[in-house]
Chain A
């Protein structure tokens, strides 16, 4: 079994509102998948369903388990960081390590201590005495020392400055990630993790609007910068989205070969953020 997460027609309703609407996807082992969507798109609800924190309709299997009904077994093999502020503020670093060691069979304390030794975090410090960035480092040093198969990150670097954000993702790759492990991450700052991702899923209004590997992006999507007549000709090829930048027309194409666009202007692969806007706004237009 290579698919760690299998979702078939997953729906989560709150009354008449569908926070997640008939979503199907698979996440394979060893991938880093970015789940990208605007606020209120259903990202967090979907993550909660995957983590067994909320029930849902449809078929959802995580590591071969029903996440909602087999949550304890699931939590042995899943880690998640929901937000930087969730570590209890009253606890001391050493007490936190003690506790995780006592309740988590997959936690290697030595590994965590090694990672902490690279930071300025003192074992005797209380979480409330640490800066936001340090709390994230602490959390990551615990997560990285847990032998878990799937790591779920929901806006893990929210509110951190750029140095900590960069460091966080560098550490994540160096200390945590290997071919046996899989990461599912949501973030607003998609540009910062673009180079890490192997897969992306776009979610909007509870629906998946894109689910692809990064490798396939250049084949399927192209962004053309054109002006004047050429822009008019390009428009006939049916761009999914068009915008203007410094007097030039920028068009995003889906499934149009680059050969056909080549003579019309500068062609490149769209950045994920731009592609996201194109998919969401293009669909709305």
Chain B
């Protein structure tokens, strides 16, 4: 059972190489922009260059804060593309196999429809975020190495200025928690997308998003309420994991707030409230909705009889 699941997950990664190619490309973009940014800045003013990179004129606390902001910004750079990719992945995953009829081959092997559909869900909710996390960690390391070389070339002590100051484990722990929690929080959407992918006969993207646009409009017209729209917006915007922090603002990178957090010298990890997240009824309600959609997707893949006529 576990071996079959691993084989299925491996198959998903092989089929959708963008799972690792996309974050790697993003990581390269980040590294490249660090290099070009540094070169450009130093071309204008060496003092500014050192202030930004080595931050020799900052105290330990401020330097750690500045690095923390930089690392978090790098992490968050990956999140939105990851979510967009996941949407496309899920809409494609049970649709493409029907379109190219390879479903007939997959179903000729001793693998159940439940195992297959769960492997697609696992890929979206676990594999994609974990691969992204690994690439984020590598990107952080690359960026720090680039900065260290730069600082070192100018005769400063990179170990002291950068490596000792950078709150790496703090940032990584928070990044990992967010990357695990976010897909769970957004799981009802994941369930919906996989369900659409399993049943639609054409254009899964349109079929998936049309109800999300049309239903709130109908609700507004006929019931003069906007419960559906609010439910969707609330779920997209506010994940109850950051204590009192407004995640919507954080996503938009409200620099003032980020600076305030950073300068106060508190650890990022202390801002994360996993207990509150796990205790939130909305999380479990969302997972239940996801479960219903997944059950429906399995049912459709199992019972519908449309291919191979």
Contacts and interface: CB of A to CB of B under 8 A. Distances in A.
A86 B4 contact: no
B11 A72 contact: no
B201 interface: no
Interface stretch (B19-27, B61-69, B106-114, B274-282): B106-114
Interface stretch (B97-105, B158-166, B207-215, B237-245): B97-105
Per CB-CB distance, the 3 closest pairs between chain A and chain B, nearest first, are: A102-B7, A88-B102, A75-B110
B45 interface: no
Nearest to B3: A102
Interface string A128-143: 0000000000010000
B108 A103 contact: no
Interface residues of A, number: 33
B100 to A, nearest CB: 6
A105 B14 CA distance: 22
B101 A85 contact: yes
B131 interface: no
Contacts of B107: 53, 75
Given A102-B3, A102-B6, A86 B305 contact: no
Contact of A100 (B97, B102, B109): B109
B15 A91 contact: yes
Given A53-B305, A89-B102, A91-B15, A82 B108 contact: yes
Interface of A: 44, 48, 51, 53-55, 71-73, 75-76, 79-83, 85-91, 95, 98-100, 102-105, 139, 154
A90 B105 CA distance: 13
A80 B110 contact: no
A86 to B, nearest CB: 4
B101 A83 contact: yes
A48 B305 contact: yes
A90 B104 CA distance: 15
Given A85-B100, A88-B15, A102-B7, 13 more contacts: A44-B308, A53-B308, A55-B303, A75-B108, A80-B108, A87-B102, A88-B105, A100-B109, A102-B4, A103-B8, A103-B111, A104-B109, A104-B110
Contacts of B43: none
B111 A83 contact: no
B221 interface: no
A103 B305 contact: no
